[in-house]
Structures are given as C-alpha cells and as structure tokens.
Amino acid sequence: MSEPKLIFVNRVYWPNEAATAQLLTDLTQGLAARGREVHVVAAGVGPAVHAGVTIHRTGGADIHHGLLARAMNYREFLVRARRVVSELAQPDDWVVLKTDPPMLAAALTGLARQRGARVVQWIQDIYPEIVPQHTGAWLAPLLAPLRWTRNRAWRNSATCVVVGADLHETVVRQGVPTGRVRVMPNWAPRELAEPARPADVAAQRATWDVVDKFLVAYSGNLGRVHEFSTLLDGAERLRAHPGIVFAFVGSGPRLTEVRRSVAARRLTNVRFLPAVPRGQLAVALAAADVHAVTLRGGFERLVNPSKLAGILAAGRPALFVGPTDSAIAALITRERCGRAVPTGAAGELAETILAWRADAAITSALRAHARRAFERHFQFEAQLAAWDQLLSDSADT
C-alpha cells in the first residue's frame, strides 16, 4: 500500500517570499527530502515541480493591491483550489489548510473530507475575528455566520495546529476539543541556523553607516496589527542621543503612515531601509543591536508575530511593545532574551535602550539567552520532525 499524499493549500508559495510562503516552502521541501509525496496548491504560475514538491498552480495572482483586487484574487483562488483538491485528494491522504486566504478552512474542509482525506488546519491567524478588531465591534454580529462555518470546519478536522499559546486558547474556545489542538511554533528561516560571520555583520553595519551607533531595528512587515506610536515616541525621547539610531527595514501597508509621522516629528534619528532578501537575512538581523517586535492590543489572541524566531536565531535581544499578558511577552521574559513593555510606555522603552547601550555585559548576556531560546523553541529540524510525526499518524479521524 502506498504512502498517503500530503496536500498543502495556501495562496502563496515559492518563489514568493511572504512569511506564509517561506514557511510552507521550508516545510514541504523538508518533508519531500524525507521521502514523502508532497503536493502544494497555490496561486500564480510557475514550475510544476521544485525541490521534490509537486506544485499545482491555479493561475491568477499571488499578490494583490487594493481591497477589491484582494477580494477577487481570494475568490478566484478558492474556486480553483476546490477544483484541484477535488481531483487530487484520495482516501487517507492528508490535506493541510493554511489561513491565506481567510476562510480557507470553511471553503475546503468539507470537500477534502468527502474525498476521504484527513484534514489539518495550520492556523497562522484567526479570521474573521481580525476584521472587527480593525473596524469596530459593530461588525462582529454580521460575521457570525462565517465564524460558525469556520468553527464547524475546525471541529471536523483531525488536528488544528496553532503557532502560539494565545491562539490555542482562542481555538479551544470555539469548541475544538483540547486534545485536537496542538501548538507547533513557526521556525526561524533555515538560513539562520548558523550565526552570521562577524566580518559580514561588520560590513553590513558599514553599508548602513551605523558602525559607531547603537541600532534599534524593526525588521519586516509594517502591518496593520503592529503598533508603532510607542516606538516612535521612544525615538523622540532619545533624539538627543546621537549614538542611538532607529531603523525600519522593510515595507508594508503602514509604511507611508510611519514615514509621515517621522517627518512630522522631525526625527532625524530614524531611518528607512529596503526589505532584505531571505538569503541576506541572517546578516541583516545580526547587524542590529536590538530588534523591536510590536503588536496592537486586542490582536494577541488572533495573530502571532513571526519575526521573533529570526531575531532570536540571530542572537539579538527583542524589545516587545504590546500586551504584556500575551504569550510572546511571557516567552521573552521567561527566556531572559529581551523585555516586554506595554503600549504607550515610551519612557520605559527609552530607559531600557539606554541601559542596554550603556552596559556591554547586559547586551552580551541577552544575546546568549536569545540564541539559546532559538535553539530550544524555533529550530527548523525539530519542527520538521514534529510535522512529519503528525502527518504519519494513522489514527481514525
């Protein structure tokens, strides 16, 4: 009897470098290298096979600009993905559904089960609850039918994999038995397994003109769930310290807003740098002295910031701004690899940066703790083994 196929569904995949695409690419290629038959259903066009993974492209676009274009792309992908899964899935296969586009679980779970496949939900963020958190609670009742449909899909799945403890709590509250919800964190990019060479880090700092500076970086997507006012308030408090520089490395929907705020405040100690390709990420992350991670209040049980894993792999302390009762704040505190400060606590943030800059022994200890936290929680090979085991379980679902 042949091994069951592993079928992953997500709108973005290699060579797209969105966070969910990178994670999916790592995992599927790792499982293929272990001898598993792996398929991916994704949008866009491209090669049908890459690194041992068979890719079923649904056409359309894997990027979107504007709300209407996004909605049309989502709908197009869902319709075509259903067609592919209907043809591909067989009894005892595994169908793993990510959360791009939103409501993917509702659209495909029933179909996959009708084909006799076992379904795993790989939950990176929780829709539709994210929407009223953005727009206001008035919208929540209108989304109740979507929540009901999604919850039914979750409850009918073999396993719901969540990437953080806060998300675990949210999923269980929707009626999924605790025994069928597993916390399996996202890993740091595989290229960060080995620390960057000091010479390369020094060269990067020279390129950024921060050789003699203490660099506080925010690296990655400037997204709608992230909080920037406290970080900018901290930069404003430290504008009289020319040896301290803040940098936003990357792009995102709130980049223009942050740029305008920096200009309005005349913050000459804040810089904007372009996004770094994945192959250069290890060096770029190590080139900062401290990395900021931020999250708006109310989102801590709906999303899980993925950038922390890479920061810790680079051996750099994390300065988290957001809900201090969140799982990410607890991890940073427990592992002694940084500090969590509440939203609005710009004074505490500035004092922390000053203290770390003034004491090399503190920053050295924080770096060591950061790397150890990565090794304990966020190594790719450990998570690959966990996924391989999960998708080898032959229990009746």
Delineate the domains of the chain, giving CATH numbers in brackets: 6-187+379-390 (3.40.50.2000), 190-377 (3.40.50.2000)
Q: Please state whether beta strands 49-50 and 53-57 pair in parallel, antiparallel, or not at all (unpaired).
A: antiparallel
User: The tokens of 341 are what?
Assistant: 């400060």
Q: What's the pLDDT at 395?
A: 45
Provide the CA 55 distance to its chain's centre, in angstroms: 22
**Gyration radius of the chain's alpha carbons:** 21
Q: How much is the pLDDT for 46? A: 86
Of the candidates 96, 105, 103, which has an alpha carbon nearest to the alpha carbon of residue 154?
A: 105
Cβ pair 231, 341 in contact under 8 A:
no
Backbone CA torsion sign across 309, 129, 21, 272? negative
Tokens standing for residue 3: 């091994």
Number of Cβ within a 10 Å radius of residue 35? 10
pLDDT of residue 17: 85
- pTM confidence score: 0.93
DSSP for residue 362: H
> What is 41-74 written as a DSSP string?
EESB---SEETTEEEEE-BS-SS--SHHHHHHHH
Yes or no: say if 73 and 99 are a contact pair by the CB < 8 Å rule. no
How confident is the model at residue 314, as a pLDDT?
A: 97
Distance CA 138, CA 218 (A): 33
Beta-carbon contacts of 155 under 8 Å, excluding residues fewer than 6 positions away, are 174, 175, 176, 177
Query: Which DSSP symbol is given to 142?
Result: G
C-beta of residue 339 within 8 angstroms of C-beta of residue 352: yes
Q: Which helix (H) or strand (E) holds 248?
A: strand 244-249
Length of the chain: 397
Phi-psi region at 122: left, alpha or beta (left = phi > 0; alpha = psi -120 to 50): beta
pLDDT at position 73 is: 87
Structure tokens belonging to residue 88: 């591909």
C-alpha 297/C-alpha 303 separation (Å) is 11
Residue 299: Cβ within 10 Å count: 25
Tally the C-alpha atoms within 13 A of residue 176's C-alpha that lie toward its C-beta.
28
From the list 236, 294, 225, 222, the residue with the least C-alpha distance to 264 is 236
Q: Which residues of 200-226 are buried (b: 16+ CB within 10 A; e: fewer)?
A: ebeebbeebebeebbbbbbbbbbbebb
Residue type, 209: D
> Is-contact 13 47, C-beta < 8 A?
no
- Please give the pLDDT value at position 386: 97
Report percent pLDDT > 90 for the chain.
88
User: Does residue 249 contact residue 275 with C-beta atoms inside 8 Å?
Assistant: yes
How would DSSP label each residue in 227-266? --HHHHHHHHHTTT-TTEEEEEES--TTHHHHHHHHHHHT
Give the residue among 346, 288, 344 at the shortest CA–CA distance from 317: 288
pLDDT for the residue numbered 71: 79
Confirm if 216 and 319 have CB atoms less than 8 A apart: yes
Residue 53 has a pLDDT of 98
Whole-number Å distance between alpha carbons of 68 and 74: 10
Regions in the chain scoring below 70 on pLDDT: 1, 62-67, 394-397
Cα–Cα distances in Å, from 305 out to 11, 197, 295, 320, 321?
Answer: 20, 26, 8, 10, 11
